[in-house]
Structure 1
Amino acid sequence: MNFRRKNIKKQHCEVIVGAQCGNAVLRGAHVYVPGIVSASKFMKAGDVISVYSDIKGKCKKGAKEFDGTKVFLGNGISELSRKEIFSGLPELKGIGIRMTEPIYLSPSFDNVLPSYLFLQNLPSVVVTHVLDPQPGEKILDMCAAPGGKTTHIAALMHDQGEVIALDKISNKVEKIKQNALLLGLNSIKAFCFDGTKALKLNTVKDAEGKPPFLPESFDRILLDAPCSGMGQRPNMACSWTLKEVTSYQPLQRKLFTVAVELLKPGGVLVYSTCTITLAENEEQVAWALRTFPYLQLQPQEAHIGGEGMVGAGLSLEQLKQLQRFGPSVVPLRGTDIDSLRDARIEDMIWLANKDCIGFFIAKFIKCKST
């Protein structure tokens, strides 16, 4: 949960970062050197710096000033001088600006007990409990990077069984492997592989257990599908086009079809997104129930989010079995942290459960063989 700080004094010395880096800062990160686009002419290590994000990507690398559209992110202390930042040395990848006064009170947990903790948003924790993995099972995480849900699945199974994690981007797969190693989880096997091609079309069994896989190979499958990401917050700007948003539905259906084929009869399939559109959520559930009559929608435990959204032709009972999260507590907008210092811990927990990213969860069971 993020609370906006007020009355932060802007400094004359400025650093401009890219939009991706800016979003990370809004969510509690420090500014790392690769994210810095420009810095004031005489910036030295130890200076108090105002950090801005170039949301339109117009600032030139290495510029000494920038008058274009920029969003203030807060103040920090420079770890390096301007000359060091733009020296071109490839080994400079650490913290460039240590944020001391971010505009949102969302503290960084970077490297805090890394062998024990993996920080996730509330709905991302809930979705793994909804999947309810059991020791000894074979489970597929189809779109797994960076591995938060994957490692949570393995932990809930007490690291007993097999967790297959797929992602089609190699450096993201390496991140999954690193996280599994860091947390001491041996049940995870991560592969660089496109989930849409994970179903083996012939009947020759692969003795090495690598993708693609034979039909009905998995006890449970998590499809945390690629989506428009419109539930991510805080965010600086909404730049989605209609074409971009509508492009995800066919991909999600292709992945879902493969997941159904790979699931054993009696197995559980959980579909989730971090977006808020009807087309990527409830409409996908309605399509799945029409397309695969042997799938049944299931109630979810834990269920602490809201019900599904009307408009996709689902019954009221079906909508109650779905789970939506979002920033539903309107009075929190503009709230200053000082006004919450005397709040009861119970109230703070309630607010945290309500004021979160947009997220959607649906749980299915496969009643018979395809």
Structure 2
Amino acid sequence: MPKPFKGISIPASKKTIIKRRYSVTQDVVSFRRCGLQYAAFNVHKYAPAQQTQTYFGTVIHQVLDRCHAHFHGIVEPSTKGSIPDNGLILKEEEIHNYFYEVQEAQKDKKTVPLPPSEIIKYFLQVENGLNSKGILAIRSNTRVQAVKILQYFNALEGAVLYPRVRDTEHRLQADQIGHILHGVVDLLVDSIDENVDPANCEMWDYKGSSRVGLNPKDLETYEFQMRVYAYLYQRKYGVLPKKAVLYFLNELDGDTCPSQRPVNALIEVSIEPDEIEVAINEFTKTVNQIEESRCTNEWQAAAPGNISEQDCKSCDLRWHCKTPNGGKGVKPIYP
């Protein structure tokens, strides 16, 4: 009896190459800041014991996103054209007292008092979401500081900035040779003339930190981030944005709201084509370094001075890392 498949050959299937997605901030910026931290929390997915820095930056970003949605009437059409609370600023004592009343009501299983302002209402909505993910404010003062900064920004910038916001959390990506590059821009802001031409649009990124005393390496990383965003923007719209702006929100911190924007709060990042090319080359180089580290499972901690002491102080890996304290490491508590 003849064999039915005699003479038939089936070629081996070609190996499918799956490109990894690399985020500007979550991957490349994180790895450039500290390879050891990146491996622990981004590759191996360990959960950090404390997420104070994650809490502060995320709550600031997400509440401001709700403020923009409030002005544009996205969630509730009746709020369109209005600034949350009409720029009202509660005193620090009032904020403290409200949070205390909420805490006592929850402890006694009573009805929680209504928020005294729209900013606090949005703050609690965001915070509840973060708490469900285990992202908490370690100190009560952190919560009050965040609310104060949000109130100040809303009162100081809202009337001029909110009407110009075209989009928030604007997603951008580009297919590169060996990977997919993607990022999220906090704000796309129309220029004063309200021309909707993409060439007249500005990219803004909020930073939950101060400009004064910023580690030079961190500022360099922020500029790198904005140049990569500019590249992605150009890939999507065919033109570069008009400006790339960093807003350091902690420059607003203080006992009272500033009467005008602090000098150090806003920095415009240069986005010349040659600078963007350097940033993209650095991005690709960093991706290759990450891939190499994945293969060898060898991850290098940041060199002393290339990362802020605050980042090291809150890192769960500090006990067996030589980077903190200017390269001297952390002195063990015991024995």
Q: TM-score range by the shorter chain?
A: under 0.3
Higher helix share: 2
Larger Rg over CA atoms: 2
| Bigger relative contact order, structure 1 or 2 (CA pairs below 8 A, ≥6 apart) | 2
TM-score (norm 2): 0.26
